[in-house]
Amino acid sequence: MQLIKIKKALISVSDKTNLENILKCLKDHKVEVISTGGSYKFIKDLGFKCTEISEYTKFPEILDGRLKTLHPKIHGGLLAKINDENHLKQIKKANISSINLLIVNLYPFEKKLLEKANFETLIENIDIGGPAMLRSAAKNFKFTTVISQPNQYENLIKEIRSHKGSTSLNYRKKVATDAFLETAYYDSVISNWLNSQQNNKFPKKITIAGQLQSQLRYGENPHQQASLYKINYKKDLLTNLNQIQGKELSYNNYLDMYAAVSISKNLNTNKNSCVIVKHNNPCGCAISDNSLKAYKLANNSDPISAFGGVISFNNEVDEKLADEICKTFYEIIIAKKFTKKSLEIFKNKKNLRLISLSNNQEDKLSYNFLGDNFLVQDKDLINLNKNKLQIVTKRKPSAKELKDLIFAFNVCKFVKSNAIVITKNEQTLGIGAGQTNRLSSSQMACTNALKFFSKEVNGSVAASDAFFPFADGLDELIKIGVKAIIQPGGSIKDKEVIAAANKANIAMVFSNIRNFRH
């Protein structure tokens, strides 16, 4: 068990929450306390005995408080192995005594970053002495106890009391691990901030600073464990997520929510939009004058796939919309807000998750983990410039067709490749997703469109996320009545594909933008 008696404690904290509780415990066990600046004053004001750090080291705080704890008497006391005779001789000669307990929490750099403090304020909130002391004490966990967060006080008090003023090796090892996590996280936030200041998108070394938000019920499948982490200093699409009701969110829920909100944002419309996602793919999307109509159009796009899906609205959900939604089973409803009457209606669906989510600035990088490697790239945030579209056929798209082509392009960006999206009147009619060849994607999209829109599909338009390598996929779309196509172009078979379009008297537009999504 290797119990180590706590005789001397060093306390230096920015966050003084619940510090009085630990001070009472230390007093009960006759522990000598030394402290720094503001912590020293706080402890003295509470009426506890305390030695100020400068008095202890016989060296004054200098450089406006930047230098106060980087002293051999501090780090020697934290690092000395008290079962090593050579160490004991050295610290005795240097008039250094062991510090058995360190309680430190760091300058609130991340808090100031989130508050959008100016550059100089952020620099002055980079802690130097704190991380150094935490690392010294954590390295020497066999003999030193290190506390890096106020939420550890309660267990520390239990540990000290249960061992009559001492701590056990297992406990010291655990809190040392926490301390290294704390310093690693802290430095990661700072380094990422400085990288952003330099627009250093792909630095030689990179760290991701995430804080545990919640442990999820399971991962993609029940036999997989999962947790949710948040990068606090970044703002992205699910920032400010507020769950109003329903079961806890699952791993797959988060994936689908992110996809749904991404598409909603990308549609970039002043009108009302509705996006329905299932298994990370859109199965119905629509834009209309009101949210109720947009929902009906999106749901009708593929009502079979929509069952059990995730819905994202870019506006408010009201009573009439809530009534209509409740006719079908869904996992999650996301909206800017919900009216009081709509919430009353949704109460009857206790497991249905309701999420309010305001518009957020989207982060510009995405990460994909491949075992012990991970890929980093720009997000696919490219917007279609109508002035740069290349019409390659004899027939030009009408203004209405062009509007639908842009809608189809924006949805197609978020469909797993290979992807084909058929639309009409800013409503998806058929989606072909995740096929290993473009012909199969075209056939799937056509099958879905004919299943639910056998008449309406005539006069529709389609988008392809990449070029048509042959005319066969295009021919499938032509057969069901598609009259205009948007695709990147760039195939060695472009002339053949354009010839097929001209023969069928349909319009074809080259975007010169590929939108693979794997």
Domain borders along the chain are 4-197, 239-356, 388-510
pLDDT by residue for the chain (518 residues), tens only, comes to 699 899 999 999 999 999 999 999 999 999 999 998 889 899 999 999 999 988 888 888 777 777 778 888 888 889 998 888 888 888 888 888 999 999 999 999 999 998 889 999 999 999 999 999 999 999 999 999 999 999 999 999 999 999 999 999 999 999 999 999 999 999 999 998 998 888 888 888 888 888 899 999 999 999 999 999 988 877 788 888 899 999 999 999 999 999 999 999 999 888 999 999 999 999 999 999 999 999 999 999 999 999 999 999 999 999 999 999 999 999 999 999 999 999 999 998 989 999 999 877 778 888 888 888 888 898 888 888 888 999 999 999 999 999 999 999 999 999 999 999 999 999 999 999 999 999 999 999 999 999 999 999 999 999 999 999 999 999 999 999 999 999 999 999 999 999 999 999 999 999 999 999 98
pTM of the model: 0.87
**Tokens 């009619």 belong to which residue?**
429
265 among known catalytic residues: no
Q: Is residue 321 within 8 Å of 295, Cβ to Cβ? A: yes
How far apart (Å, rounded) are the C-alpha atoms in residues 432 and 454?
Answer: 16
CATH of 4-197, one of 3.40.50.150, 1.10.3720.10, 3.40.50.1380, 3.10.450.50: 3.40.50.1380
Catalytic one among 16, 29, 81, 139? 139
User: For residue 306, which of 324, 284, 321, 285 has the smallest C-alpha distance?
Assistant: 284
CATH code that applies to domain 388-510: 3.40.140.20
- Relative to beta strand 337-338, strand 316-317 is parallel
361-367's contacts with Cβ under 8 Å and 24+ in sequence apart are 361/235, 361/236, 362/236, 362/237, 362/262, 362/265, 363/234, 363/235, 363/236, 365/201, 367/208
**Looking at 174, 234, 271, 279, which residue is catalytic?**
279
Q: Tell me which DSSP letter residue 386 carries.
A: G
139 among known catalytic residues: yes
The answer to whether domain 239-356 has CATH 3.40.140.20 is: yes
- 388-510 and 239-356 share a CATH fold: yes
